[in-house]
Amino acid sequence: MTIQDLKNKNLLLFEAISGSRAFGLATETSDTDIRGVYYLPKEDFFGLNYISQISNEMNDITYYEIGRFVELLLKNNPNILEVLASPEDCILYKHPLMDLLKPEDFLSKLCKDTFAGYAVSQIKKAKGLNKKILNPIDKERKSVLDFCFILDGQGSVPLKKWLSEYRKVQEKCGLTAIDHTKGMFALFYDDSETLKYKGIIQHEEANQVSVSSVPKDEKPEAYLFCNLDAYSTYCKDYREYWKWVEERNEDRYNVNQTHGQNYDSKNMMHTIRLLQSCEQIFRNHSLQIRVENRDELLDIKAGNWSYEAVMKKTEKLIQSIEEQYAISDLPDYPDTQKSLKILVDIREALYL
């Protein structure tokens, strides 16, 4: 079933413009997103052809089956609550039965987890993005050797530097572990290669150093420390960084680079808007979609706020939400029985 099928068969119950235009944050370059609600024909609903959601290829137009829509409302899903609370001038079509579903009947303390919880996850992503932008990682991957050091008096020198200075190669080295230590090894060298040492690493992709069998009468050339914890952290950061480079939205990344604030300004604008919506829910027991601080939010989107200022604002909003949540008399959960009765009433009216 396609979106056009829904319209041809008159199955739509609700349709509205969503996203930036509904929030009052649209600019000349903003896309137009559409969200809606439909119901399945009786034979599909009672049969084996239940379809909970239909979207176009770009996912900027999405419709939810009425049962799925109510299910998500009961979970206090922010996107679904915002669809139900769409401003009048954004509603393209509304079946009279949809008046039975009112946003205020679904608002509960769950909103702290769904609205603020999601916003906090976006803040963590923003911090990770900030770290990635400020700390780019070379494409050439480091090896374990880069995390090895030779003890030298009261300090240490990088292994690669030590090998170069003493004209040695890692392949002719042999390591033995030192009891009661972590990451410490005695380093032996066999220039003739008759002792068949395994080298410090056996190949560039090795994730740890190699130990060799060394005759008891051999004297160590030096003592080596391998910081495997630092190497493990580097490998994790390397994978995450280059995965991000591969998947990032180049257009948005270039915009963020242009304003030079080292965070995804559009994402943070919507994160702050979401936190403000959550604060309003607990303060006023209502959900107002259209923002009252358009200029401030668009200023953030334009990158006119520093990363530190944006983070400070989010922290202040989160603190306020916690305070309002503590004194709120909203129910812990929406009234499931009442909502299901409304859903049944809607279906019965549609299937008469």
Do residues 180 and 174 lie in contact, with contact meaning Cβ atoms separated by under 8 Å? Answer: no
Beta strands in 153-244 (DSSP E): 155-158, 173-177, 184-189, 222-226
Span 190-201, average pLDDT: 95
The predicted-structure confidence for 277-320, as pLDDT tens digits, reads as follows 999 999 999 999 999 999 999 999 888 888 889 889 999 999 99
Task: With H, G, I as helix, E, B as strand and everything else as coil, classify residue 200.
Answer: coil
Give per-residue pLDDT as tens, 217-256.
Answer: 999 999 999 999 999 999 999 998 888 778 766 545 554 5
In the chain, ranges of CATH 3.30.460 domains = 1-102+334-352
Residue positions counted in the chain: 352
Q: Are strands 148-152 and 61-65 parallel, antiparallel or unpaired?
A: unpaired
Q: At what angle do helices 117-134 and 307-327 cross, to 10 degrees?
A: 160
**pLDDT for residue 135 is more than 70:** yes
Q: Which CATH class is domain 1-102+334-352?
A: alpha beta
Residue 110 Ramachandran class (φ > 0 left, ψ -120 to 50 alpha, else beta): alpha
